[in-house]
Amino acid sequence: MDRALVTGGGGFIGSNVARMLLDEGVNVRVLDDFSTGYRENLEPLPDVEMFDGDIRNGELVDEAVKDCDVIFHLAAAVGNLQSIERPVRDAEINVLGTLNVLEAARRHGVRQIVYSSSAAIFGELKELPIREDHPMEPGSPYGVSKLAGEKLCLAYGTLHGLDVACLRYFNVYGVNQRYDAYGNVIPIFVHLLIDQQPLTIFDDGEQTRDFVNAEDVARANVLAARANATGPFNVASGTAITINHLVELLAEVSGLEPTVRHAPPRPGDVRDSLADISASREAFGFAPQVELEDGLERYVEWMRSTAAAPR
């Protein structure tokens, strides 16, 4: 791997991927319009070559892809709630934007694409742990658009000889992840906890999630590219905890006592989540290294030391 493009490299996962690639001596380009990512995430990475703009801009995408041998495609409209409120925008970015990336990859002879997918493609789960062949019945426009992106990537792989790995992320958290209203539960809870505001738990709090640290997700991206992996792969910790237990852990690592209130379940949310990660382990040697307690402690420390406030 000589030169890699990271779309969405200003996001918290993308910036971790870019840093890891630089550490391995790879020339890194980042394409991002910073609508959800942050320029501050890339300030510690001065060697990154920047392309400032939107993946819906086909000409810009083509320019950014030129001379790259690997693309890490992370740019996306993310989240079930935002997709329910803005489904057309979700599809434009996640489907048409992905087509722009794939067409540029085809034109410029890119050898490998690592596509960031989501466990949202599965919808309500029928069995645990979730294998890659679990039925896919997404319950939100976001899940549908990420599944469409997967299918497009895999089709281009077959048609044009690209190696394509589709990494299905579960609940990712970690350094560089800032609070926003559509964000995942950990940044929302940590922000509110530090700000001494009540935490809202939807449903009874006994729903389970498989949380994986952004460092492990970045490692999975790099390993998949190095191995020329092809096909869909779960990327998760392979363990699950309840939301109630998550609150207990956050209280423990922060030293703060949360105030908790409950609200009805949200549309598009699944009840339970737990991944089988044996396929990614066998294909490219993925093994999570960050324990949840350690990752939460580092994340709380980072949030306290960073202006990680809402826009």
Local confidence band at 310 (pLDDT 50, 70, 90 cut-offs)? very low
The 3 state secondary structure assigned to 6-52 is EECCCCHHHHHHHHHHHHCCCEEEEEECCCCCCHHHHCCCCCCEEEE
Predicted pLDDT at 181 = 55
Strand partners, 234: 168
pTM of the model: 0.93
For the stretch 243-272, pLDDT in tens is 999 999 999 999 999 999 999 998 777 889
Domain ranges of the chain: 3-173+210-238
List the catalytic residues.
142
Q: Which two tokens mark 50?
A: 């920047």
Mean pLDDT confidence for 94-106 = 98
Domain 3-173+210-238: CATH architecture, name and number where available:
3-Layer(aba) Sandwich (3.40)
Strand partners, 281: none
Q: What's the one-letter identity of residue 54?
A: D
CA-based end-to-end distance of the chain: 36
Predicted pLDDT at 87 = 95
Percent of the chain with pLDDT over 90: 89
Predicted pLDDT at 129 = 96
For the stretch 55-98, pLDDT in tens is 999 999 999 999 999 999 999 998 888 899 999 999 999 999 99
